[in-house]
Amino acid sequence: MADLPKEYAFVLDANDKKLAPTNINKAWILIRKKKATMINKYPMTIKLNREVEGECP
């Protein structure tokens, strides 16, 4: 079976700070649990409903 390329979703926190991308399946789980909202479908971008502390690498 051929390995499919992994698809990622871009992630923003509540203050629109860019975070590390996540797997699309994980993004859908966050949306269903009402922990995030979809901003854009392609490329998939989600916005978390909470603020994330700390610095991005």
Q: Are 10 and 44 in contact (CB under 8 A)?
A: yes
User: How do residues 8-25 score in pLDDT, each as one tens digit?
Assistant: 999 999 999 999 999 999
Cα 20–chain centre separation? 8
What does the pLDDT read at residue 4?
77
Q: Is residue 55 assigned to a domain?
A: no
Record the tokens describing residue 30, joined without a space.
Answer: 């966050």
Whether this prediction's pTM lies above 0.95 is answered by no
Q: Is residue 13 assigned to a domain?
A: yes
Residue 30 CB coordination number (10 Å):
19
Q: Is residue 1 assigned to a domain?
A: no
Average pLDDT over residues 21-47: 97
Q: Is residue 33 assigned to a domain?
A: yes
* Alpha-carbon gap, residue 15 to 42, rounded angstroms: 21
Alpha carbons within 13 A on the beta-carbon side of 16: 1
Structural domain containing residue 42: 8-48
Record the tokens describing residue 3, joined without a space.
Answer: 């390995």
